[in-house]
Structure 1
């Protein structure tokens, strides 16, 4: 049963994604608070599914790929919900949002073209960016406004997307859990890399 916990945590984000969209559409009492609670809870499941899987020694490539796919669904759902609630904000920042989404799409394009697989680098910088995304979405959903936090999220997002593309271009074969471009260079040189037991297996 313990080995099913990471899988259950991963799939729970699909449930949260559906609830987030439903709340954004129906907009019942306290829906903004409820959505934000689901966002935070979803992030926590993302953190602990990997930690638990590694502690149980069941952190397989298949599980990490599943985690990456579900993450995309979860955050896209959160973005859609934020748009449904605060469409004006998105219209005002359409160009920056388009550039950011295009950069994200490019990382997947590079990965699929080169390896025929999705991105699953789980770089440390991307984990930091995820925290910024969470904070930005919470602020937008709560107030339909975000100034310096959104801009910080945008620039960090662009930098981290460029790092992921660099990692993918450096790797000769698909690998998951590459902490940074420095580690990708070492792998390309045939050297072993150290991964954080807590975050990168």
Structure 2
């Protein structure tokens, strides 16, 4: 029973995204939007922690975790458009830059591995924190300027790092924490290959 907790948290995050979007359909959000988003953010933190503690952090679970994050933030961005499209338009160039960087990330990963990466890197965690702050500022304070800029900059840097990690790693791996770890992992894989061939 306890082993199902990480998967349940991932499913919860899948389900909360559409709820947030539904709450924003009338052009404004209620306290339930913030409560639901905070709950989703906490679920993202604890699903990985619990999975690692239980030693059930599988590739499938980590991929599902990544998809849940994407679903959540697509719904959050759609909600932002419904609630304050003027701010979205004002930030259209930097936001489109992040979208373009993410598109390149998808292309690079699909070309090399045939599927998206699931690194859960340190930079991804930092980006998640900045996205959380920007979202709270946007929907509860109606002032996301500095927080949104920070999330955009961190998002671009994070995406560039993960593209570099994909170019470095010869095979698909999940839970690679940084480009430094990717370089070390590549060396280990090359050493194993050389040993096997000898």
Gaps of 5+ in 1: 192-201
- Does 2:10 match 1:7? no
SS at match of 2:13: helix
8 A Cα contact 2:27 2:82, kept in partner: no
- Which residue is equivalent to 2:107? 109
| C-alpha distance after superposition, 1:112-160 (max 9, x if no partner) | 1100111201111110111100110111122443222221111111111
Matches of 2:117 and 2:89 in 1, distance apart? Answer: 29
SS at match of 1:189: helix
- Which residue is equivalent to 1:157? 155
- Does 2:117 match 1:124? no
TM-score normalised by L of structure 2: 0.91
Go from structure 1 to structure 2 and tell me whether the alpha carbon gap of 1:87 and 1:143 turns closer, same or farther (over 3 Å shift).
Answer: farther
Q: Give the number of aligned pairs.
A: 190
Tell which deviates more after alignment, 143-152 or 153-162.
Answer: 143-152
8 A Cα contact 1:125 1:160, kept in partner: yes
- Which residue is equivalent to 1:189? 187
TM-score normalised by L of structure 1: 0.89
- Which residue is equivalent to 1:195? none
CA displacement at 1:27 relative to structure 2: 5.6
Tell which deviates more after alignment, 58-67 or 142-151.
Answer: 142-151
CA RMSD of superposed structures (Å): 1.6
Gaps of 5+ in 2: 190-198
SS at match of 1:17: helix
8 A Cα contact 1:32 1:142, kept in partner: no
